[in-house]
Amino acid sequence: MNSSTKRITCKDLFSVIALGICLTATTAKAQHTGDVIIAVTSNGQLTADPDGFVPELNYFDLPVGGVFFPGWADSSPGFDHLVVARPIDNVFPMQSGAIIDLEVISVDPAFQVVVLGNPPLFLDEPGESTFLGDHTLHEHITFHINADAPEFDPNQCVWHATFVLRDTGSTAYTDSLPLAFRFTNVELEFKGGDFDDDLDVDADDWEAMATCLNGPSQTPQPTNPAITICEVECLNAFDFDGDLDVDLQDVALFAGAYSG
């Protein structure tokens, strides 16, 4: 572990046991999401395999965390290693000697990474890091939106966390490009244009569509508190083609779903 890693002592042994129980409870979802698959490129740079969970192309909805994780928490997506080379995508397995750390570049206020241990690690500052494993790594850490944090904003629905993969072993692979995760406390569920959940697609939903519309390859930026200020609610209702924006293609598909 490098010197920038933060260790926070538990108040007592019960805290460690409780964290272990909660971490175990939150791993169930991992079997259904896919992990970040760590590989190297042909020029020796660490990277995320595009066939795994690609942070930049996804949101991840965290379930309610429970008593010991106030707010929302999950130990998914995890981190795994590439087994078979795929030259067409320029991804290759790591070689023996790799020692892979996950280092924090930035996190939103009230967001933290929890790593089970005695004591556990709480990572929420740039430069802090945790050991993921060697070239055969498979690790699940816990991502936590902390509703008890003084900085927690109840109107926020997406928390950003950016990390870099770093090899401190003898293979000395180049650092990965930043991995930018987006975590939300809103369940990801496509609603087919029914923004207000009243089992129709009508003028009220059109008003919400207009609020969410922001053009191709642009994250929705709704600013009307009377409708929504949450980009995930926009995507849930109006991202018909699943490309993480609300644009004119989605408007055309919305018109086809319009029932009045």
Average pLDDT for the chain: 88
- pLDDT beyond 60 at 77: yes
Give, for 36, the enclosing helix (H) or strand (E).
strand 36-40
Q: How far apart are CA 100 and CA 78, in angstroms?
A: 14
Structure tokens given for 153: 């904003």
Residue 135 Cα distances to 86, 131, 170, 171, 239, angstroms? 17, 12, 11, 10, 38
State the pLDDT at residue 82. Answer: 97
Give this prediction's pTM: 0.85
Give, for 106, the enclosing helix (H) or strand (E).
strand 100-107
Torsion angle in degrees (nearest 10) through CA of 220, 72, 159, 247: -10
- Secondary structure (3-state) at 157: coil
Give the strand pairing for 71-74 and 142-146: antiparallel
- pLDDT beyond 50 at 137: yes
- pLDDT beyond 60 at 8: no
State the pLDDT at residue 5. Answer: 42
Please state, for a pLDDT cut of 90, what percent of the chain lies above it: 82
Q: In which band, very low, low, confident or very high, does the pLDDT at 33 lie, cut at 50, 70 and 90? A: low
Write out pLDDT tens, residues 205-221.
999 999 999 999 999 99
> Any bridge partners for residue 72, and if so which?
64, 145
